[in-house]
Chain A
Amino acid sequence: MERYRILPHTADGKFQAYGGTLEEAFGNAALALASLMWDWSKVAPKTRHFIHVRGIDREQLLVKFLGETVYLFETRRFLLAKVDGLRIRPEFEGFSLEALLGGDALDGRYEIYGDVKAVTYHDLKIEECGGFTVQVVVDM
């Protein structure tokens, strides 16, 4: 099954990511986001970061989860290669998400070709129809 698709957008980056479950679609969305900056399929998963985020709703949860990839890249020079063990749980107010992000530290072997500044709510969609489709626009 196709993991994600990059869509045309005038100023910035837009993609849809797919999954049989919401978790799978979220994980694929992180790879789609990474693909705007580097070729994640060529990154060796040598190091791991455990992440835990909360959101008041699924949309905020997705924005915050994707923001982790940008944050880890800029502050730890971490290039995402894979997403493991992603779990979403309903909370008293909203949702929480935890996942293990696998990847490598940026060095001369990797080419970085895009800069995602921020994950936005613009045209953000989370749809369930058989499986899940999430759509995200990022500011580049």
Chain B
Amino acid sequence: VSAAVDLRKIGDNVWEIPKEGEMRVPALVYSSARLLEDIRRDQTLLQARNVACLPGIERMSYVMPDAHQGYGFPIGGVAAFDLDGGIISPGGVGYDINCGVRLLKTDYTEADVSAKRKELLAEIFKEVPAGVGKGGVTKLSRGVLKEILVKGADWAVENGYGRKEDLERTEECGRMRDASAEDVTDRAMERGIPQLGTLGSGNHFLEIQKVHEIFDEAAARAFGIRGAGQVLVMIHCGSRGLGHQVATDHIEAMENAFGVKGLPDRELVHAPFRSEEGQRYYRSMCAAVNYAFANRQMIAHWVRDVFARVLGSSGGMDQVYDVCHNVAKVEVHESGGRSKKLVVHRKGATRSFGPGRQEIPGCYRSVGQPVIIPGSMGTSSFILAGTAEAEALSFGSTAHGAGRVMSRHEAIRRFRGERIRDDLARKGIELRSTSWKGVAEEASEAYKDVDEVVRVSHELGLGRLVAKVVPIGVMKG
């Protein structure tokens, strides 16, 4: 399908789909020739072009280096819209609202934990509920859930999950202020009640990692990353069934209000940002974002508990940062020669704000925000720093991970979960999962090369490489 899209190389790692037909702006693809081979294979480019047709789009429809086909927007798609003439679209955020990553540092080195590695992972596996259909440990009332939807990670900290300092080191301080629980349907709440404090399944994981290599000493120091061998913990999950239902409900509400005629793709249904439907989606999306922040806050707390119990202390386990991968936010950016408020959609993309931005915590304001890019299961992950250039290039955004290249079906056919476990064990990586089939689905061969993704990101200035980390223990849902 994408073969029909006119794509021109306009610079190193930059490709343009010129404005034509109903496109209001051009689309810009940030990719190496090698990554582009995968991108061309599915509907990513066509989807980027469809996004460029949406009302009120500013500057360009952007595609990140790890992009692949999504629903409506491509995964790895970034687009911003004028608040008055522009739209908001659930397809620009995705079903797993605020799927994201949290990174904790520790004062332990690999040598400190190597003897207890198995035990650490086994205990985390016991404490953090994971897997399909697995409920959480807390039975929530609807009243408490509503409070969580409004307060996000604030609620978790108030209730003994984690530390106050964690909040500052979370995107949006762990709480989107525009959230409203009243706009979240009963169905979404019903799905959210049993799943709070659960990792979920699919590509979600929790890893005990060690620092492999540092590329930028100054930024690493600011992030609390001291040197090779330092142990870190990475948590990757989202808003679970609650977020999925919020997306589903508002796609339907927008269809009912505005119809589906004239849409290039029904998943691109949208509403004017200022309309009642647009605002209802925005407020309930913010609520789902908050649910996901609370979710990761609780999981981080349990992980610290396990470290304290098994190793004697969790004292040095400060949060490095927590980033959203799927979100729409109102931010100020340059467009058309002036600074203006825009609703920025990042779908499978990470905010990458550089030095000086008021949105990032004071402790990082001189180096840029930490950008956490998880690799596929059992491979390397990366820590980058946000840049000032990214604001001009991509509304301050970069890649979010590796991105699939092989179907789950095909992965199950080709790989065995138990075999993957044994291979990882030989590399010194412990693996625990609720499902061997799930492990096979997430085989690293089914994903793009994350090293190439972050290299392109670094070369373009979308995000600056700070450190490479590798897993020593992997828990998969």
Interface residues of A (CB under 8 A from B): 6, 8-13, 37, 56-57, 59-60, 63-64, 67, 70-71, 73-75, 77, 106, 112-115, 117-122, 124, 137, 139-140
The 7 closest A-B pairs by CB, nearest first: A121-B266, A115-B132, A117-B244, A118-B95, A75-B190, A115-B201, A112-B132
**Other than the known A10-B42, A37-B132, A118-B248, what 19 A-B pairs have Cβ atoms closer than 8 Å?**
A9-B407, A9-B409, A10-B404, A10-B405, A11-B69, A11-B404, A56-B255, A57-B260, A64-B252, A71-B245, A112-B132, A112-B435, A113-B437, A113-B438, A115-B201, A118-B95, A118-B245, A118-B247, A139-B96
Query: Does B194 belong to the interface (CB within 8 Å)?
Result: yes
A74–B247 CA distance with the chains assembled, in angstroms: 16
Q: How far is the CB of A65 from chain B (nearest CB, A)?
A: 12
Q: How far is the CB of B31 from chain A (nearest CB, A)?
A: 17
CB within 8 Å for A74 and B409 given contacts A115-B202, A122-B265: no
Option from B96, B248, B410 in Cβ contact (under 8 Å) with A119: B248
Q: How far is the CB of A64 from chain B (nearest CB, A)?
A: 7
B-side contacts of A60, CB under 8 Å: 252, 255
CB <8 Å contact, B133 and A106: yes
Interface residues of B (CB under 8 A from A): 42, 68-72, 75, 95-96, 131-133, 187, 190-191, 193-195, 200-202, 241, 244-245, 247-248, 251-252, 255-256, 259-260, 265-267, 404-410, 435, 437-438
CB <8 Å contact, B132 and A117: no
CB within 8 Å for A122 and B71 given contacts A10-B407, A115-B201, A139-B244: yes
A-side contacts of B248, CB under 8 Å: 63, 67, 118-119
A-side contacts of B132, CB under 8 Å: 37, 112-115
Q: How far is the CB of B405 from chain A (nearest CB, A)?
A: 7
A119–B252 CA distance with the chains assembled, in angstroms: 12
A13–B244 CA distance with the chains assembled, in angstroms: 16
Q: How far is the CB of B448 from chain A (nearest CB, A)?
A: 11
B-side contacts of A77, CB under 8 Å: 133
A-side contacts of B266, CB under 8 Å: 59, 121, 124
CB <8 Å contact, B200 and A75: no
B-side contacts of A6, CB under 8 Å: 409
A-side contacts of B75, CB under 8 Å: 11
A139–B240 CA distance with the chains assembled, in angstroms: 12
A70–B244 CA distance with the chains assembled, in angstroms: 10
Option from B194, B405, B410 in Cβ contact (under 8 Å) with A74: B194
Chain A residue with Cβ nearest B241: A74
Q: How far is the CB of A106 from chain B (nearest CB, A)?
A: 6
CB <8 Å contact, B202 and A140: yes
Q: How far is the CB of A28 from chain B (nearest CB, A)?
A: 19
CB <8 Å contact, B195 and A74: yes
Chain A residue with Cβ nearest B256: A56
